[in-house]
Amino acid sequence: MIKCIIVGYGFLGKRLARELAAGKIAGVKLAGIASSKGYIYRADGLAHEDLPERIDRARGFEEAPASEMIRRELADLLVELTPTNIESGEPGLSHIRQALEEGMDVVTANKGPIALAFEELSSLAEERGSLLLYEATVGGGIPLISLQKRCLMADELLSLRGILNGTTNYILSRMHFEEMTFELALREAQMLGIAERDPTLDLEGVDTALKLLILANSLMGLRKKLSEVKIRGITKVTSEAIAAAKESGMTIKLIGVVGENGLSVAPRLIRLNDPLCVHGTLNAVNFNHRILGNLTIIGEGAGESTVSALLNDIYEVVRARSRRL
């Protein structure tokens, strides 16, 4: 049995814990969960009814940092789900580093560490013979990374472009179809819980840039840094601009591009019949391969769907470990 611990017990952590405690992945047992307050750990596994709403009110609560659970309990697999920090990558970066050093496999949805320290972490994982899987960091549940790594490695990925942020896509879609102003569409998105209370990183294009970096560095072998991405957000996009685009059979979308001119994130004009032109909270990515040509994949880029990517990465760990034995 693979002993799994989840660090970060918020939206994703709770949903994933429920799946694992219910035994949805054979061969994996959920042994520990941690939040910012502390952790609970049970070597024989946490059952569904053991999962608390709040960790600090649960039986067996340890008021100690998650790093202590990682160090003390020698689990096999860390699922890192703490908040994304774009300055330092912390606390996720330390958690992942520590786990890999202990020889654990790591699965994460946390963009910070993967975008900021991909090279360091992937070589550390390789050195230790551990897996570092991060499908859930980009495009929610859409299998972008495994699609490329499993099915298309023999072809050459020349460029890619994508809509990688559901919040901005929702806002721009409402502006296009309902002729709303930016401010009104944003407020609506916040009311619906699509946009965060502080949506700056989404609106300014930084979230898209982080995801683009992860795709560029992990799928195209680039070694780019966040400072090398040219980033423009959508806050200046007006109803007039959307109307002008519409008149020409186009609309405006926030698009990340990795191509011959480097990495960029900007609002761009896109034809309404372009396969990339998806609406609402949907994400879409278009890969351009040397032989295959264009391939576009569309799906829900955040929320509950992300749990699907996490579960598949965990399943991959199970498969790899059974091969290792």
Ligand X SMILES: NC(=O)c1ccc[n+]([C@@H]2O[C@H](COP(=O)([O-])OP(=O)(O)OC[C@H]3O[C@@H](n4cnc5c(N)ncnc54)[C@H](OP(=O)(O)O)[C@@H]3O)[C@@H](O)[C@H]2O)c1
232 part of the interface to ligand X, by CB under 6 A: no
Contact at 8 Å (CB) between 118 and 219? no
Q: Which of 28, 82, 164, 185 binds ligand X (CB under 6 A)?
A: 82
244 part of the interface to other proteins, by CB under 8 A: yes
Judged by beta carbon, residue 169 or residue 251, the one nearer ligand X is 169
Contact at 8 Å (CB) between 312 and 320? no
Contact at 8 Å (CB) between 135 and 124? no
Q: How far, in Å, CA of 189 to CA of 318, rounded?
A: 38
Judged by beta carbon, residue 286 or residue 306, the one nearer other proteins is 286
Rounded to 5 degrees, what are φ and ψ at 30? -80, 115
Q: Is 211 a catalytic residue?
A: yes
Q: Which of 91, 162, 199, 256 binds ligand X (CB under 6 A)?
A: 91
Binding mask 265-304 for ligand X (x = CB under 6 A): -------------------------------------xx-
Nearest-approach distance from CB 161 to other proteins, in angstroms: 7
Q: Which helix (H) or strand (E) holds 253?
A: strand 250-259
**Which of ligand X, other proteins, none does residue 187 bind to, with CB < 5 to 8 Å depending on kind?**
none
Q: Which of 190, 239, 288, 296 binds other proteins (CB under 8 A)?
A: 239
**Which of other proteins, ligand X, none does residue 13 bind to, with CB < 5 to 8 Å depending on kind?**
ligand X
Q: How far, in Å, CA of 246 to CA of 267, rounded?
A: 14
Q: Which of 111, 211, 224, 253 is catalytic?
A: 211
Nearest-approach distance from CB 302 to ligand X, in angstroms: 4
* CA distance to 94, 182, 253, 275, 280, per residue, from 242 (Å): 43, 10, 10, 19, 15
Nearest-approach distance from CB 197 to ligand X, in angstroms: 11
231 part of the interface to other proteins, by CB under 8 A: no
237 part of the interface to other proteins, by CB under 8 A: yes
Region binding ligand X by CB under 6 A among candidate stretches 106-114, 262-270, 289-297, 316-324: 106-114
Q: Looking at this protein, which amino acid is placed at residue 67?
A: S
109 part of the interface to ligand X, by CB under 6 A: yes
Nearest-approach distance from CB 283 to ligand X, in angstroms: 11
> With b meaning 16 or more CB within 10 Å and e meaning fewer, what string describes 115-146?
bbbbeebbebbeebebbbbbbbbbbbbbbbbe
7 part of the interface to ligand X, by CB under 6 A: yes
Q: Which of 3, 4, 6, 8 binds ligand X (CB under 6 A)?
A: 8
159 part of the interface to other proteins, by CB under 8 A: no
Number of CB atoms found within 10 A of residue 74's CB: 11
Q: How far, in Å, CA of 40 to CA of 30, rounded?
A: 11
Q: Which of 168, 173, 217, 306 binds ligand X (CB under 6 A)?
A: 306
Q: How far, in Å, CA of 209 to CA of 188, rounded?
A: 24
Q: Looking at this protein, which amino acid is placed at residue 31?
A: A
Contact at 8 Å (CB) between 160 and 299? no
315 part of the interface to ligand X, by CB under 6 A: no
Please report, as ranges, the residues that interact with other proteins according to CB under 8 A: 161, 232, 236-241, 243-245, 247-248, 250, 252, 255, 257, 261, 266-270
